[in-house]
Amino acid sequence: MVTTRAALRFRRLSHALIWLSLGLVSACSTPPPQWTNENPLALAPPVAESVAALLKDYRVRSPLIAISGTEAIDHISNFGLVVATFRTSYALQNNGLWATATTGSMSGVGSAGSAVTSEISLCGLLSLAGMTQAASEVPVLPTLPGPITATENLTWRSRTTALQTASPNICSPTSGSAFSLRAVIEEYRKGTVLALTRSRTVELACNVGAEAKPASRLAGWFRGAALAVHCTRTTNAEDREQLEYAFLIDSGLYVLLAQTGGVQSSKMHFDRADYRD
């Protein structure tokens, strides 16, 4: 089973596509009212209050507007290495949150898919609300010369309903600092046949590198300086992942570089980054 994501736009994208490719549609249920009657990107009121306090002094000097690249994903249940190609557009909101839109596709042995994700993000570190629409051709029978496939569709919605933090500087970390947060996230996934609703608790504990380095070391298009940030993400007090981020100081954004943990590992490669001049 693919490890579930908390935060970032392309993590939701790749997990949605792998979820499809593995045929993981289970636990039949009907969507609760909040998934049918509300704006999919609306924040839960308690979370809106929490992030307002976190972002009162948040400043962005060089807004990032888009990045593109690939994510190489190695999962124990895959039939080989899966490569997801993505492009994410960013729009800084008046309240300091980021609206992102990610389009992407992926391919593996005998399967392929595409997805579109929209999210509201806390400085790229935590998705506060989001929705993914994905479609995939998945193998049904491993016949020769090629497998018999079927089309699987997925709608994935999530919303953070509670947020606790141990530092007011999550979106403006300083060299050598540490911070943590705890979030309760509700999810609704609907496949072609069945659906799943669930709630999970995510805890994130992060340590910031001692020295900022040129962001261009990540890829030549990134501007300014970046801090290395290592985080441990624990889901439901059991599943644990190690996440490597770069915090782009001038843009006030976390960019995920790599993930390891449990049954999956992945690594990002960036082809381009665009800024608002």
Q: Is residue 277, in this structure, part of any structural domain at all?
A: no
CA 106 to chain centre: 15
Q: Is residue 1, in this structure, part of any structural domain at all?
A: no
pLDDT at res. 6: 30
Q: Is residue 155, in this structure, part of any structural domain at all?
A: yes
Residue 83, class by beta-carbon neighbours within 10 Å (0-12 exposed, 13-18 middle, 19+ buried)? middle
Of 262 and 68, the one with more pLDDT: 68
Do 1 and 122 form a contact (C-beta atoms < 8 A)?
no
* Sign, CA torsion 103/197/243/214: positive
Q: Is residue 22, in this structure, part of any structural domain at all?
A: yes
Q: What pTM did the predictor assign?
A: 0.83
Query: Which CATH number does the domain housing residue 244 bear?
Result: 2.40.128
Q: Which two tokens stand for residue 69?
A: 């690249």
Query: How far is Cα 35 from Cα 43, in angstroms, rounded to an integer?
Result: 12
Place of tokens 């919605």: 157
110: left (phi over 0), alpha (psi -120 to 50) or beta: left
Q: Is residue 239, in this structure, part of any structural domain at all?
A: yes
- Within a 13 Å sphere around the CA of 154, how many CA atoms are in the beta-carbon half? 34
Size (the chain), residues:
277
Q: 156-196: per-residue pLDDT in tens?
A: 899 999 999 988 899 999 999 999 999 999 999 887 667 78
Q: 15-49: per-residue pLDDT in tens?
A: 544 444 444 444 445 555 555 656 889 999 999 99
Range of the domain at 191: 9-268
Q: Is residue 170, in this structure, part of any structural domain at all?
A: yes
The enclosing H or E element of 234 equals strand 225-235
Q: Is residue 72, in this structure, part of any structural domain at all?
A: yes
Q: Which two tokens stand for residue 91?
A: 């729009």
- Distance of CA 99 to CAs 28, 81, 126, Å? 31, 30, 12
- Number of structural domains (the chain) is 1
| Res 108 pLDDT > 70 | no
- 3 state SS of 61: coil
Q: Is residue 4, in this structure, part of any structural domain at all?
A: no
